[in-house]
Structure 1
Amino acid sequence: MSIVNYIKAGDHVVFRETFLQWQPKAYQYFMLKVKDEALSKELTQLTFIKLWDYRHTLSEDLSLETQLFRIARTTLIDTLRAKAQQRKAQLYVLKESKEEFVHPVTEVDTEKNIINALNSLPPVRKQIFVLSRLHGFSYKQIAGKLEISDRTVEKHISLALKQLRKVLSAFF
Structure 2
Amino acid sequence: MLILQLKDGNETVFEQVYDLTHKKVYRYFLKRNATHDTARDLTQQTFIRLWQYRQTLKEDRTLDTKLFTVANSVLIDHLRRHAHRQQLQDSFSDLQPASTQQALLAYEQQDYLHAAIAHLPPVRQKVIQLRLIHGFTNKEIALHLSIGVKTVEDHITKALRQVKSMQLLILLLICIK
Deviations 1:3-61 (A, max 9, x none): 01111000000000100100000001111111110000001000000000000001111
Work out the CA distance in 2 between the residues paired with 1:32 and 1:77: 14
Q: How does 1:134-145 map to 2 (within 5 A)?
A: 134=135, 144-145=154-155
Q: CA deviation at 1:93?
A: 2.2
Q: Is there any run of 5+ residues in structure 1 with no aligned partner, and where?
A: 101-116, 161-172
Aligned AA (2:85): Q
Deviations 1:54-93 (A, max 9, x none): 0000111100000000000010011010011011112222
**Residue among 156, 159, 165 paired with 1:155:** 165
Work out the CA distance in 2 between the residues paired with 1:53 and 1:73: 16
Q: What is the number of residues matched between the two proteins?
A: 139
**Paired residue for 2:35?**
36
Q: How does 1:103-142 map to 2 (within 5 A)?
A: 121-122=114-115, 123=118, 124=120, 128=128, 131=131, 134=135
**Paired residue for 2:142?**
none
**Paired residue for 1:113?**
none
> 1:82 and 1:143, CA in 2 relative to 1: closer, same or farther beyond 3 A?
closer
Aligned AA (2:68): F
TM-score, with structure 1 as normaliser:
0.66
Aligned AA (2:158): I
Work out the CA distance in 2 between the residues paired with 1:159 and 1:46: 42
Q: Is there any run of 5+ residues in structure 2 with no aligned partner, and where?
A: 100-109, 139-150, 171-177
Work out the CA distance in 2 between the residues paired with 1:40 and 1:144: 35
The RMSD of aligned alpha carbons is 3.5
**Paired residue for 2:75?**
76
Work out the CA distance in 2 between the residues paired with 1:15 and 1:70: 17
Looking at secondary structure, tell me which structure has more helix per residue. Answer: 2
**Paired residue for 2:90?**
91
Work out the CA distance in 1 between the residues paired with 2:128 and 2:160: 11
Which of structures 1 and 2 has the larger relative contact order (alpha carbons within 8 angstroms, sep 6+)? 1
